[in-house]
Amino acid sequence: MNETASKTMKAVAIDRFGGIETLKTKDLPIPAVAADEVLVRVEAAGVGVWDPYEREGGFAKQFNITPVFPLILGSDGAGTVESVGANAKRFKKGDRVYGIAFLNPKGGFYSQYVVVKESSLSRIPGKLTMPQAAAMAVDAITALVGLDKTLGLKRDESILILGASGGVGHLAVQLAKRMGARVLAVASGTDGVTYVKELGADKVVDGYKEDVVAAAKQFAPNGLDAVLFTVGGDVAEKALSALKEGGRAAYPNGVRPVPQARAGIKIEHFDGEYAPPPFEKLNKLIEAGPFDVHVARTFSLDQVADAQRMLDEHYLGKLALITK
Ligand SMILES: NC(=O)c1ccc[n+]([C@@H]2O[C@H](COP(=O)([O-])OP(=O)(O)OC[C@H]3O[C@@H](n4cnc5c(N)ncnc54)[C@H](OP(=O)(O)O)[C@@H]3O)[C@@H](O)[C@H]2O)c1
Protein backbone atom coordinates (compact mmCIF):
# COMPACT_ATOMS: atom_id res chain seq x y z
CA MET A 1 0.00 0.00 0.00
CA ASN A 2 1.48 3.39 -0.87
CA GLU A 3 1.83 5.99 1.85
CA THR A 4 -0.90 8.26 0.48
CA ALA A 5 -3.58 5.51 0.32
CA SER A 6 -6.62 6.38 2.45
CA LYS A 7 -5.39 9.96 2.80
CA THR A 8 -7.42 12.85 1.49
CA MET A 9 -6.51 15.76 -0.75
CA LYS A 10 -7.85 19.25 -1.22
CA ALA A 11 -9.43 19.63 -4.65
CA VAL A 12 -11.81 21.85 -6.57
CA ALA A 13 -14.76 19.72 -7.66
CA ILE A 14 -18.34 20.15 -8.83
CA ASP A 15 -21.37 18.14 -7.67
CA ARG A 16 -23.43 19.09 -10.72
CA PHE A 17 -22.85 20.93 -13.99
CA GLY A 18 -23.55 24.62 -13.88
CA GLY A 19 -22.26 28.11 -13.27
CA ILE A 20 -19.28 29.40 -11.36
CA GLU A 21 -21.11 28.79 -8.06
CA THR A 22 -20.73 25.02 -8.59
CA LEU A 23 -16.93 25.23 -8.00
CA LYS A 24 -16.27 23.97 -4.45
CA THR A 25 -13.07 23.28 -2.56
CA LYS A 26 -13.42 19.85 -0.94
CA ASP A 27 -11.47 17.18 0.90
CA LEU A 28 -11.64 14.09 -1.31
CA PRO A 29 -9.94 10.67 -1.22
CA ILE A 30 -6.69 10.40 -3.17
CA PRO A 31 -7.51 8.03 -6.08
CA ALA A 32 -5.95 4.55 -6.16
CA VAL A 33 -3.09 4.01 -8.63
CA ALA A 34 -3.53 1.24 -11.24
CA ALA A 35 -0.56 -0.60 -12.79
CA ASP A 36 -0.12 1.77 -15.76
CA GLU A 37 -0.75 4.94 -13.74
CA VAL A 38 1.23 7.50 -11.76
CA LEU A 39 0.24 9.49 -8.68
CA VAL A 40 1.44 13.09 -8.96
CA ARG A 41 1.67 15.55 -6.10
CA VAL A 42 0.36 18.55 -8.02
CA GLU A 43 2.03 21.94 -7.63
CA ALA A 44 0.22 23.93 -10.30
CA ALA A 45 -2.70 23.52 -12.69
CA GLY A 46 -3.53 25.28 -15.93
CA VAL A 47 -6.80 27.21 -16.12
CA GLY A 48 -8.05 26.59 -19.65
CA VAL A 49 -10.43 28.84 -21.57
CA TRP A 50 -12.46 25.63 -22.09
CA ASP A 51 -12.80 24.90 -18.34
CA PRO A 52 -16.13 26.78 -18.01
CA TYR A 53 -17.47 24.68 -20.91
CA GLU A 54 -16.48 21.50 -19.04
CA ARG A 55 -17.98 22.89 -15.80
CA GLU A 56 -21.26 23.54 -17.60
CA GLY A 57 -21.40 19.96 -18.95
CA GLY A 58 -20.43 20.84 -22.53
CA PHE A 59 -17.86 18.06 -23.00
CA ALA A 60 -20.05 15.48 -21.21
CA LYS A 61 -22.83 16.19 -23.70
CA GLN A 62 -20.50 16.46 -26.70
CA PHE A 63 -18.73 13.16 -25.99
CA ASN A 64 -21.72 11.39 -24.42
CA ILE A 65 -19.93 10.84 -21.09
CA THR A 66 -21.92 9.92 -17.98
CA PRO A 67 -20.38 12.14 -15.32
CA VAL A 68 -19.27 10.82 -11.95
CA PHE A 69 -19.58 13.51 -9.28
CA PRO A 70 -17.80 15.00 -7.47
CA LEU A 71 -15.91 15.80 -10.66
CA ILE A 72 -12.49 17.44 -10.36
CA LEU A 73 -11.69 19.88 -13.18
CA GLY A 74 -8.30 20.78 -14.61
CA SER A 75 -7.03 19.48 -17.97
CA ASP A 76 -3.33 20.11 -17.38
CA GLY A 77 -0.83 20.60 -14.62
CA ALA A 78 2.59 19.88 -13.17
CA GLY A 79 4.11 18.51 -10.00
CA THR A 80 6.32 15.75 -8.65
CA VAL A 81 5.82 12.01 -8.89
CA GLU A 82 4.59 10.57 -5.59
CA SER A 83 4.23 6.90 -6.54
CA VAL A 84 4.02 4.73 -9.65
CA GLY A 85 1.98 1.66 -10.64
CA ALA A 86 3.67 -1.73 -11.13
CA ASN A 87 3.98 -1.31 -14.92
CA ALA A 88 4.85 2.39 -14.94
CA LYS A 89 8.59 2.29 -15.53
CA ARG A 90 9.45 5.73 -16.88
CA PHE A 91 9.16 7.74 -13.67
CA LYS A 92 10.28 7.50 -10.06
CA LYS A 93 9.28 9.32 -6.91
CA GLY A 94 10.40 12.94 -6.95
CA ASP A 95 10.58 13.38 -10.76
CA ARG A 96 9.35 16.78 -11.96
CA VAL A 97 6.57 16.14 -14.47
CA TYR A 98 3.84 17.90 -16.41
CA GLY A 99 0.90 16.33 -18.12
CA ILE A 100 -2.63 16.20 -19.41
CA ALA A 101 -5.74 14.87 -17.64
CA PHE A 102 -8.39 15.98 -20.11
CA LEU A 103 -11.67 14.25 -19.10
CA ASN A 104 -9.62 11.88 -16.91
CA PRO A 105 -12.02 9.51 -15.09
CA LYS A 106 -9.90 9.79 -11.91
CA GLY A 107 -10.11 13.57 -11.91
CA GLY A 108 -8.15 16.58 -13.11
CA PHE A 109 -5.35 18.84 -11.90
CA TYR A 110 -7.41 21.32 -9.84
CA SER A 111 -6.21 19.28 -6.88
CA GLN A 112 -3.29 18.51 -4.59
CA TYR A 113 -2.95 15.06 -6.21
CA VAL A 114 -3.87 13.52 -9.55
CA VAL A 115 -3.70 9.96 -10.89
CA VAL A 116 -3.10 9.71 -14.65
CA LYS A 117 -1.77 7.19 -17.14
CA GLU A 118 2.01 7.18 -17.33
CA SER A 119 1.74 8.06 -21.04
CA SER A 120 -0.09 11.30 -20.15
CA LEU A 121 3.00 12.63 -18.34
CA SER A 122 6.41 13.89 -19.34
CA ARG A 123 9.51 15.26 -17.66
CA ILE A 124 9.50 19.09 -17.60
CA PRO A 125 11.71 20.45 -20.40
CA GLY A 126 14.31 23.20 -20.10
CA LYS A 127 14.12 25.65 -17.25
CA LEU A 128 10.35 25.90 -17.07
CA THR A 129 8.84 26.48 -13.63
CA MET A 130 5.97 24.35 -12.33
CA PRO A 131 3.29 26.98 -13.13
CA GLN A 132 4.75 27.42 -16.63
CA ALA A 133 4.84 23.69 -17.32
CA ALA A 134 1.34 23.30 -15.89
CA ALA A 135 -0.12 26.09 -17.96
CA MET A 136 1.39 25.03 -21.26
CA ALA A 137 0.61 21.31 -21.49
CA VAL A 138 -2.64 21.31 -23.48
CA ASP A 139 -1.98 24.56 -25.36
CA ALA A 140 1.59 23.65 -26.38
CA ILE A 141 0.57 20.19 -27.58
CA THR A 142 -2.33 21.79 -29.47
CA ALA A 143 -0.01 24.39 -31.04
CA LEU A 144 2.44 21.67 -32.09
CA VAL A 145 -0.25 19.41 -33.57
CA GLY A 146 -1.73 22.38 -35.46
CA LEU A 147 1.58 23.52 -36.93
CA ASP A 148 3.26 20.19 -37.53
CA LYS A 149 0.59 17.61 -38.22
CA THR A 150 -2.39 19.59 -39.46
CA LEU A 151 -0.65 22.38 -41.40
CA GLY A 152 2.54 20.47 -42.20
CA LEU A 153 4.46 23.72 -41.76
CA LYS A 154 7.80 23.77 -43.57
CA ARG A 155 11.01 25.76 -43.26
CA ASP A 156 10.83 29.23 -44.92
CA GLU A 157 7.06 29.12 -45.30
CA SER A 158 5.07 32.19 -44.23
CA ILE A 159 2.45 31.72 -41.53
CA LEU A 160 0.01 34.13 -39.89
CA ILE A 161 -0.77 33.23 -36.28
CA LEU A 162 -3.95 34.87 -35.05
CA GLY A 163 -4.41 35.30 -31.30
CA ALA A 164 -0.62 35.30 -30.98
CA SER A 165 -0.56 36.68 -27.42
CA GLY A 166 -3.06 34.07 -26.15
CA GLY A 167 -2.55 30.60 -24.67
CA VAL A 168 -2.07 28.55 -27.83
CA GLY A 169 -0.86 31.53 -29.87
CA HIS A 170 2.20 32.60 -27.86
CA LEU A 171 3.47 29.02 -27.83
CA ALA A 172 2.69 28.55 -31.55
CA VAL A 173 4.74 31.65 -32.41
CA GLN A 174 7.83 30.21 -30.72
CA LEU A 175 7.34 26.69 -32.12
CA ALA A 176 6.76 27.99 -35.67
CA LYS A 177 9.95 30.08 -35.49
CA ARG A 178 11.81 27.02 -34.27
CA MET A 179 10.42 25.04 -37.21
CA GLY A 180 12.04 27.61 -39.51
CA ALA A 181 8.91 29.46 -40.64
CA ARG A 182 8.45 33.22 -41.16
CA VAL A 183 5.86 34.34 -38.65
CA LEU A 184 3.39 37.20 -38.93
CA ALA A 185 1.81 37.40 -35.49
CA VAL A 186 -1.55 39.04 -34.85
CA ALA A 187 -1.66 39.85 -31.14
CA SER A 188 -4.10 41.60 -28.80
CA GLY A 189 -3.36 45.08 -27.44
CA THR A 190 -0.17 47.09 -27.05
CA ASP A 191 1.04 44.75 -24.30
CA GLY A 192 0.36 41.74 -26.54
CA VAL A 193 2.29 43.26 -29.44
CA THR A 194 5.26 44.16 -27.23
CA TYR A 195 5.35 40.70 -25.69
CA VAL A 196 5.09 38.75 -28.96
CA LYS A 197 7.87 40.86 -30.52
CA GLU A 198 10.09 39.64 -27.68
CA LEU A 199 9.23 36.06 -28.65
CA GLY A 200 10.93 36.55 -32.01
CA ALA A 201 8.00 36.86 -34.44
CA ASP A 202 9.15 38.43 -37.71
CA LYS A 203 6.32 40.96 -37.71
CA VAL A 204 3.64 41.68 -35.10
CA VAL A 205 0.43 43.65 -35.51
CA ASP A 206 -2.48 44.42 -33.18
CA GLY A 207 -5.51 42.56 -34.51
CA TYR A 208 -7.90 44.99 -32.85
CA LYS A 209 -6.35 48.17 -34.28
CA GLU A 210 -4.34 47.42 -37.38
CA ASP A 211 -5.20 46.32 -40.90
CA VAL A 212 -4.40 42.60 -40.91
CA VAL A 213 -4.90 42.17 -44.67
CA ALA A 214 -2.53 45.04 -45.50
CA ALA A 215 0.04 43.67 -43.05
CA ALA A 216 -0.23 40.20 -44.61
CA LYS A 217 0.15 41.60 -48.16
CA GLN A 218 3.29 43.42 -47.13
CA PHE A 219 4.62 40.35 -45.30
CA ALA A 220 3.89 37.87 -48.10
CA PRO A 221 3.17 39.73 -51.36
CA ASN A 222 2.23 36.50 -53.18
CA GLY A 223 -0.06 35.36 -50.37
CA LEU A 224 0.55 33.51 -47.12
CA ASP A 225 1.37 29.80 -47.12
CA ALA A 226 -0.52 29.08 -43.91
CA VAL A 227 -2.76 30.52 -41.19
CA LEU A 228 -3.22 29.17 -37.67
CA PHE A 229 -6.05 30.89 -35.91
CA THR A 230 -7.13 30.60 -32.30
CA VAL A 231 -10.10 32.98 -32.56
CA GLY A 232 -12.84 33.18 -35.15
CA GLY A 233 -14.90 36.02 -36.57
CA ASP A 234 -14.15 39.00 -38.73
CA VAL A 235 -10.38 39.12 -38.21
CA ALA A 236 -10.09 35.37 -38.90
CA GLU A 237 -11.98 35.78 -42.18
CA LYS A 238 -9.62 38.62 -43.11
CA ALA A 239 -6.59 36.47 -42.32
CA LEU A 240 -7.98 33.69 -44.52
CA SER A 241 -8.41 36.12 -47.40
CA ALA A 242 -4.64 36.77 -47.29
CA LEU A 243 -3.76 33.11 -48.07
CA LYS A 244 -2.30 32.28 -51.45
CA GLU A 245 -4.16 29.95 -53.84
CA GLY A 246 -3.66 26.44 -52.40
CA GLY A 247 -2.80 27.85 -48.95
CA ARG A 248 -3.65 25.97 -45.74
CA ALA A 249 -5.49 27.12 -42.63
CA ALA A 250 -6.19 25.36 -39.35
CA TYR A 251 -7.90 26.05 -36.06
CA PRO A 252 -8.39 23.99 -32.89
CA ASN A 253 -11.91 22.76 -32.18
CA GLY A 254 -13.56 25.20 -29.82
CA VAL A 255 -12.86 28.30 -31.91
CA ARG A 256 -16.06 30.21 -32.62
CA PRO A 257 -17.48 31.29 -34.96
CA VAL A 258 -16.17 28.58 -37.28
CA PRO A 259 -14.77 30.04 -40.50
CA GLN A 260 -16.50 30.15 -43.85
CA ALA A 261 -15.23 27.58 -46.37
CA ARG A 262 -13.79 29.22 -49.47
CA ALA A 263 -12.55 28.06 -52.85
CA GLY A 264 -8.84 27.45 -53.39
CA ILE A 265 -7.79 27.05 -49.76
CA LYS A 266 -7.86 24.17 -47.31
CA ILE A 267 -9.33 24.86 -43.86
CA GLU A 268 -8.95 22.10 -41.26
CA HIS A 269 -9.98 21.86 -37.63
CA PHE A 270 -8.14 19.68 -35.15
CA ASP A 271 -7.73 18.64 -31.52
CA GLY A 272 -4.58 18.37 -29.48
CA GLU A 273 -3.29 14.78 -29.35
CA TYR A 274 -3.70 13.25 -25.91
CA ALA A 275 -3.36 9.48 -26.22
CA PRO A 276 -0.44 9.80 -25.94
CA PRO A 277 0.59 13.44 -26.44
CA PRO A 278 3.74 14.02 -28.58
CA PHE A 279 5.71 15.25 -25.55
CA GLU A 280 9.17 14.26 -26.73
CA LYS A 281 8.84 16.20 -29.98
CA LEU A 282 7.54 19.20 -28.02
CA ASN A 283 10.27 19.02 -25.38
CA LYS A 284 12.96 18.83 -28.05
CA LEU A 285 11.67 21.96 -29.75
CA ILE A 286 11.37 23.76 -26.41
CA GLU A 287 14.93 22.83 -25.45
CA ALA A 288 16.38 24.08 -28.75
CA GLY A 289 16.64 27.59 -27.28
CA PRO A 290 15.08 30.03 -24.83
CA PHE A 291 11.34 29.37 -24.55
CA ASP A 292 8.76 31.35 -22.60
CA VAL A 293 5.42 30.32 -21.19
CA HIS A 294 3.63 33.42 -20.03
CA VAL A 295 1.60 32.88 -16.86
CA ALA A 296 -0.33 36.13 -16.53
CA ARG A 297 -1.56 35.44 -13.01
CA THR A 298 -1.67 32.63 -10.47
CA PHE A 299 -4.48 31.85 -8.01
CA SER A 300 -4.83 29.52 -5.03
CA LEU A 301 -7.33 26.64 -5.15
CA ASP A 302 -9.66 28.73 -2.97
CA GLN A 303 -9.55 31.52 -5.57
CA VAL A 304 -10.65 29.27 -8.44
CA ALA A 305 -13.84 31.28 -9.09
CA ASP A 306 -11.75 34.44 -9.56
CA ALA A 307 -9.47 32.52 -11.91
CA GLN A 308 -12.35 31.33 -14.08
CA ARG A 309 -13.89 34.83 -14.08
CA MET A 310 -10.60 36.26 -15.31
CA LEU A 311 -10.81 34.04 -18.41
CA ASP A 312 -13.27 36.60 -19.81
CA GLU A 313 -10.79 39.46 -19.42
CA HIS A 314 -7.81 40.55 -21.49
CA TYR A 315 -4.56 38.92 -20.35
CA LEU A 316 -1.49 37.50 -22.07
CA GLY A 317 -0.69 33.79 -22.21
CA LYS A 318 -2.37 31.64 -19.58
CA LEU A 319 -3.68 31.56 -16.02
CA ALA A 320 -2.70 28.96 -13.42
CA LEU A 321 -3.69 27.66 -10.00
CA ILE A 322 -1.06 27.02 -7.35
CA THR A 323 -2.34 23.85 -5.74
CA LYS A 324 0.17 22.86 -3.08
N1 LIG B 1 -9.50 21.25 -29.45
C2 LIG B 1 -8.43 21.34 -28.71
O3 LIG B 1 -7.69 20.37 -28.53
C4 LIG B 1 -8.09 22.66 -28.07
C5 LIG B 1 -7.00 22.77 -27.22
C6 LIG B 1 -6.67 24.04 -26.69
C7 LIG B 1 -7.46 25.14 -27.03
N8 LIG B 1 -8.54 24.96 -27.85
C9 LIG B 1 -9.37 26.10 -28.26
O10 LIG B 1 -8.53 27.01 -28.95
C11 LIG B 1 -8.97 28.32 -28.74
C12 LIG B 1 -7.79 29.16 -28.24
O13 LIG B 1 -7.38 28.71 -26.97
P14 LIG B 1 -6.40 29.60 -26.12
O15 LIG B 1 -6.08 28.84 -24.90
O16 LIG B 1 -5.29 30.06 -26.98
O17 LIG B 1 -7.36 30.84 -25.80
P18 LIG B 1 -6.98 32.34 -25.50
O19 LIG B 1 -5.83 32.38 -24.57
O20 LIG B 1 -8.24 33.05 -25.12
O21 LIG B 1 -6.45 32.88 -26.91
C22 LIG B 1 -7.17 33.60 -27.82
C23 LIG B 1 -6.45 34.93 -27.97
O24 LIG B 1 -6.93 35.62 -29.12
C25 LIG B 1 -6.92 36.99 -28.81
N26 LIG B 1 -7.75 37.73 -29.75
C27 LIG B 1 -9.09 37.78 -29.85
N28 LIG B 1 -9.45 38.59 -30.87
C29 LIG B 1 -8.30 39.06 -31.41
C30 LIG B 1 -8.00 39.95 -32.47
N31 LIG B 1 -8.97 40.51 -33.20
N32 LIG B 1 -6.71 40.20 -32.75
C33 LIG B 1 -5.72 39.64 -32.04
N34 LIG B 1 -5.92 38.80 -31.02
C35 LIG B 1 -7.22 38.51 -30.72
C36 LIG B 1 -7.42 37.04 -27.38
O37 LIG B 1 -7.07 38.27 -26.77
P38 LIG B 1 -8.16 39.07 -25.88
O39 LIG B 1 -8.55 38.12 -24.78
O40 LIG B 1 -7.40 40.24 -25.40
O41 LIG B 1 -9.30 39.39 -26.80
C42 LIG B 1 -6.65 35.86 -26.78
O43 LIG B 1 -5.38 36.29 -26.34
C44 LIG B 1 -10.14 28.23 -27.74
O45 LIG B 1 -11.34 28.24 -28.48
C46 LIG B 1 -9.92 26.88 -27.09
O47 LIG B 1 -11.11 26.33 -26.60
C48 LIG B 1 -8.86 23.76 -28.38
Indicate the SS3 state at residue 288.
Answer: coil
Span from the CA of 134 to the centroid of ligand 1 (angstroms): 18
Centre of ligand 1 to C-alpha 38, Å, is 31
Cβ-contact 77, 97 below 8 angstroms: no
E-strand ranges in the chain read 8-14, 24-29, 37-47, 71-72, 76-84, 96-100, 113-117, 121-123, 158-162, 182-187, 203-206, 224-229, 243-252, 266-270, 295-300, 318-322
Pocket (CB within 6 angstroms of ligand 1) = 49-50, 138-139, 142, 163, 165-169, 186-189, 207-208, 230-231, 235, 252-255, 271-272, 314
**CA-nearest residue, atom 25 of ligand 1:** 163
Residue nearest to atom 32 of ligand 1 (CA): 207
For a pocket test of ligand 1, which of 138, 141, 150, 168 has the largest count of ligand atoms closer than 8 A to its C-beta?
168
Provide the H-helix boundaries in 80-229.
130-144, 167-178, 189-198, 212-219
Please state the atom number of ligand 1 nearest to the C-alpha of residue 256: 45
Q: What is the pTM of this model?
A: 0.97
Determine the distance separating the centroid of ligand 1 and the alpha carbon of 198, expressed in angstroms: 19
Chain segment 8-39, per-residue pLDDT in tens:
999 999 999 999 999 999 999 999 999 999 99
Q: What is the rounded CA–CA span in Å between residue 76 and residue 108?
A: 7
Atom of ligand 1 nearest to the CA of 251: 10
* pLDDT one-digit tens code per residue, 43-97: 999 999 999 999 999 999 999 999 999 999 999 999 999 999 999 999 999 999 9
CA–centroid distance, residue 230 to ligand 1 (Å): 5
Nearest atom in ligand 1 to 169's CA: 16
Distance CA 73, CA 4 (A): 21
Strand partners, 114: 40
Residue 145 alpha carbon, nearest atom of ligand 1: 3
Parallel, antiparallel or unpaired: strands 96-100 and 121-123: antiparallel
Going across the sheet that includes 71-72, the strands are 24-29, 8-14, 71-72
Ligand 1 atom nearest to 142, measured from its CA: 5
Identify whether 278 is preceded by a cis peptide bond (ω within 30 of 0): no
113 C-alpha to ligand 1 centroid (Å):
28
pLDDT per position in the chain (324 positions), as tens?
455 555 899 999 999 999 999 999 999 999 999 999 999 999 999 999 999 999 999 999 999 999 999 999 999 999 999 999 999 999 999 999 999 999 999 999 999 999 999 999 999 999 999 999 999 999 999 999 999 999 999 999 999 999 999 999 999 999 999 999 999 999 999 999 999 999 999 999 999 999 999 999 999 999 999 999 999 999 999 999 999 999 999 999 999 999 888 889 999 999 999 999 999 999 999 999 999 999 999 999 999 999 999 999 999 999 999 998
